[in-house]
């Protein structure tokens, strides 16, 4: 997957409510076959909020709705996601992960543009 840039925000989580640039780095698959994406977020999230001594710069995004199971083919915005932190080392070197490899941090949305994310604009 070529790097795609979107914008991450959340109407559900105060910590993720501020818009962050979100660069899709790699498509991953759960052992069930469901697709998810490893993404870099800027600015990072203070890790202390989630029991981590390091700030969170990379997250795994998983579609919240079963019918939207292709993170690499987002066609409608916003795209509703679970925002998760990886609990295993070197997730970028993996192709397949399991649910136990992740800790869900929040619910969020992926938007096309920063302005859309700032205003929570729906298609």
Digit-coded pLDDT (tens) for 32-70? 989 999 999 999 999 998 888 899 999 999 999 876 667
Percent of the chain with pLDDT over 70: 95
Q: What is the pLDDT of residue 49?
A: 86
State which of 59-68, 81-90, 109-118 shows the largest mean pLDDT: 109-118
Domain ranges of the chain: 4-119
Beta carbons within 8 Å of 13's beta carbon, 6+ residues apart = 83, 105, 106, 107, 108
pLDDT value at position 67?
67
From residue 28, alpha-carbon distances to 21, 70, 72, 123 in Å are 20, 11, 10, 26
């Amino acid at each position: 997957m070529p790097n795609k840039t979107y914008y991450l925000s959340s109407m559900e989580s105060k910590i993720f409510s501020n818009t962050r640039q979100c660069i899709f780095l790699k498509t991953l698959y759960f052992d069930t076959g469901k697709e998810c994406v490893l993404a870099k977020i800027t600015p990072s999230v203070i890790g202390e909020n989630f029991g981590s001594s390091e700030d969170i710069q990379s997250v795994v995004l998983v579609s919240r709705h079963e019918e939207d199971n292709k993170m690499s083919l987002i066609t409608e915005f916003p795209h509703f996601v679970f925002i998760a932190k990886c609990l295993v080392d070197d997730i970028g070197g993996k192709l397949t992960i399991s649910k136990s490899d992740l800790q869900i941090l929040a619910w969020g949305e992926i938007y096309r543009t920063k302005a859309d994310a700032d205003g929570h604009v729906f298609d």
